[in-house]
Amino acid sequence: LAHAVIGAWLAGAFLVISIAAFYLLKKRHLEFSRFSLKVGLSLAAIALVLQLFSGDSSAKGVAVNQPAKLAAFEGIFKTQKGAPLSIFGVVDQPNETVKYGLEFPKMLSWLAHGDTEAEIIGLDKYPKKDWPNVKVVFQTYHLMIAMWVCMFIVTVIALFYWWRKSLFSTPWLFRI
């Protein structure tokens, strides 16, 4: 629940940021837009940090309580110790593999259980008829992570320009 609520805060913060940026580009409602942008960025910065901790906590809960879901999120078809964390890739469900991916060895085991040699239960422990559409689950989960990273990067850049007192002279950033 916390993860979803914080996600709603992020959506609201970026809605405010987007509208403020639009008005700043159009040079309309400037005082209100500057104030709105600052409020939106402040909320986004706080919510992004909270979302990181909430997401980590949620993922650890999923690892313990819903291991099949974790396996689908990360494309783990075979139960293994020292499971890698996939940053991206293309799921080949018939061959039970993730192709063209970038993996960090043992990172999933460490993130889920705090131990690089911890066992991650794979989809092989469940009947295939109970498997989700791993292609869709894998890609949408990784899209969620990628969107958080993009929001984080844009927010950090904007906060940097705000700190340097040049935020309102960066139309290229408003377009982003």
Span 88-146, pLDDT tens digits: 999 999 999 999 989 999 999 999 999 999 999 999 999 999 999 999 999 999 999 99
pLDDT of residue 15: 98
Helices (H) and strands (E) in the chain, counts: 6, 4
The structure's pTM equals 0.89
| DSSP three-state, residue 72 | helix
Average pLDDT over residues 6-32: 97
Smallest Cα–Cα separation from 97: which of 118, 126, 77, 69? 77
Alpha carbons 154 and 46: distance in angstroms, whole number: 14
First CA to last CA across the chain, in angstroms? 29
pLDDT score, position 81 = 96
